[in-house]
Structure 1
Amino acid sequence: MKRNQTINIGQVARRTIAMEASAINDLQQFIDADFEKVVERIAQCQGRLVVTGIGKSAIIAQKMVATFNSTGTPALFMHAADAIHGDLGMIREEDVVMCISKSGSSAEIKVLVPLVKNFGNTLIAMVGNTASFLAQEADYILNTTVSQEACPNNLAPTTSTTAQLAMGDALAVCLIEWHGFTAADFAKFHPGGALGKKLYLKVGDLSKQHQAPQVLSNSSLREVIVEISSKMLGVTAVVDENGLLQGIITDGDLRRMLEKNVPTAAVTAKDIMSLHPKMIQQDQLAINALEMMRQHDITQLLVMDGERYQGIIHLHDLIREGII
């Protein structure tokens, strides 16, 4: 295939994005009573939301199903072509079926729709033609009409599938708010990868991987240096005889003290320590520790259990776990 020598790539890309953005913006006029009823019906459904489609709409349907499942709305994908060859068996009596189609009149849709209706399931049409067979047969209509595809031939599904995707996201977000779905709920369905760790990994989970460096307030300079070096975290807590936190000493504190050329023989931990260390409770999320480090431009925090010192969380812990 030969290249069109007259193409302005940047202009074409910007035009495409502008057309799709306009199509999404136009969807606001289609958020009507049917949309609200669809949200209510899905939210109150005792079964699953079965999403089906053909061609590019089927691919959009799969993405919607992934979003619904990850945000607390049980859903499954059923390909419209496979449905009429046995996959209809996945539909249960209490399920709601949503069929996605631009034209609403493809051959597979015309075969599938009467079968779903015969089962007695609620049928939702996400359709770009409200006069189509699918729209006429559906219980509720989600209108995703677009004026034109971004494709220069007005053929390849581009603007229309973008509109479908946006309408699906609008549904999902409404359902999130309907159910009061929280970040903690989200974490239950996303335990893997960096995203999951941001949602469930606690400060205490990381600090327990290290020995907790600590010295007494009357410890010598040598003892302080040995403790910081041996625990390899660049810091040590200073505690009293009862284990209560008194302060913190970092390797930076040591350098600054040595630069003053003071006699070191009589120096103790309490002479070097900072009295107001940055602390975080062990039950806080690790992502909160990262935000504190960024805010104060530091690389470690003291980890506390109430008033008692428990250990250290270091920036390297967060990097290792993929939080950053």
Structure 2
Amino acid sequence: MKRNESINIGQVARRTIAMEASAINDLQQFINTDFEQVVELIAQCKGRVVVTGIGKSAIIAQKIVATFNSTGTPSLFMHAAEAIHGDLGMITEDDVVMCISKSGSSAEIKVLVPLVRNFGNKLIAMVGNTDSFLAKEADFVLNTTVSQEACPNNLAPTTSTTAQLAMGDALAVCLIEYHGFTAADFAKFHPGGALGKKLYLKVSDLSKLHQSPKVKLDSSLREVIVEISSKMLGVTAVLDENGILQGIITDGDLRRMLEKNVPTTDVKAKDIMSLNPKAIQQDQLAINALDMMRQHDITQLLVMEGNYYQGIIHLHDLIREGII
């Protein structure tokens, strides 16, 4: 293809984004009774939501299915072209079928829709032409009409697929709130990767991987240095005779003390410890530990169970787990 020498790339990009943003904004006028009834229908469905489409709409359908499944609405993707070659068998009597199409009149849709109707399943049309075959045959219509594609030839699905995607997200979010779907629920479906870890990994899961450096109030400077060095966390807790936390000593505290050139022979842990150390309960999420570290510009926190010291969680633990 020959390069268009007159193209202003930035201008074209901004125009595309503006057109698609406008199309999404226009969808608000299509949130009507049918939309509300679709949310109710899906929320009370005893089966799955089978989402189908052809071409670019099929790709959008797959994304909607992925979002539904990850937020507590069991869903399946069925390619409209494959449906008539055996995939119709995935539809059960308790399922709801949603068909996505811009025109609503493609050949595959015209073959598929009567078959779905014969099964007796409720049919939802997400369609860009409310006068189309699909819209007229459906029980409910989600209108995703756009005035123009961002494509300069008004051909390549761009604005229309963006509208479909946004309408699918609107459904998903409504269902999340309808069911009171929480972050804890979300974590059940996302146990892998950094996202899952942010939702379920607890402070205790990381702190238990380390030894728990600790010294007593009257521990000598040598004992403090050995404890910090041997546990390799750059820090130690300071406890009283009853095991109650009194303070913290970091390797930074040691350096600052040595810089003062004070006699070290009689220095005790209580003489150099910092009071009121930052701490977190062991049943808290690890992501909350990261938030605390960022807030106070520190790299470790003492881990507590109630009033009792349990160990250390370090910034490196969070990095290693991919939470940052």
Shorter-normalised TM range: over 0.9
Residue aligning to 1:129? 129
- RMSD, aligned α-carbons: 0.6
- 1:153-188: per-residue Cα shift (whole Å, max 9, x none)? 100100000000000000000000000001111011
CA distance in 1 between partners of 2:235 and 2:16 (Å): 54
Deviates more, 1:253-262 or 1:31-40: 253-262
- 1:16-51: per-residue Cα shift (whole Å, max 9, x none)? 111000000000000000000000000000000000
Q: TM-score, normalised by structure 2?
A: 0.99
Aligned length: 324
Deviation (angstroms), 1:118: 0.7
Residue aligning to 2:35? 35
Residue aligning to 1:297? 297
Residue aligning to 2:141? 141
Identity over aligned pairs, percent: 88
Deviation (angstroms), 1:258: 1.5
Residue aligning to 1:250? 250
Task: Report whether the alignment pairs 1:20 with 2:20.
Answer: yes
Deviation (angstroms), 1:257: 1.4
CA distance in 2 between partners of 1:9 and 1:83 (Å): 41
Q: Map 1:38-117 to 2 at 5 A.
A: 38-117=38-117
Matched letter for residue 319 of structure 1: I
Partner of 1:142: helix, strand, or coil?
strand
Residue aligning to 1:286? 286
Residue aligning to 2:323? 323
Task: Report whether the alignment pairs 1:202 with 2:206.
Answer: no
Residue aligning to 1:177? 177
CA distance in 2 between partners of 1:161 and 1:259 (Å): 65
Task: Report whether the alignment pairs 1:310 with 2:296.
Answer: no
Matched letter for residue 252 of structure 1: G
Matched letter for residue 95 of structure 2: D
CA distance in 1 between partners of 2:242 and 2:311 (Å): 16
CA distance in 2 between partners of 1:264 and 1:189 (Å): 56
Q: TM-score, normalised by structure 1?
A: 0.99
Matched letter for residue 118 of structure 1: N
CA distance in 1 between partners of 2:47 and 2:40 (Å): 14
CA distance in 2 between partners of 1:240 and 1:83 (Å): 72
Note the residue ranges of structure 1 that are not aligned, 5 or more in a row. none
Deviation (angstroms), 1:210: 0.5
Deviation (angstroms), 1:244: 1.5
CA distance in 1 between partners of 2:240 and 2:117 (Å): 75
Deviation (angstroms), 1:241: 2.3
CA distance in 2 between partners of 1:194 and 1:8 (Å): 39
CA distance in 1 between partners of 2:264 and 2:316 (Å): 31
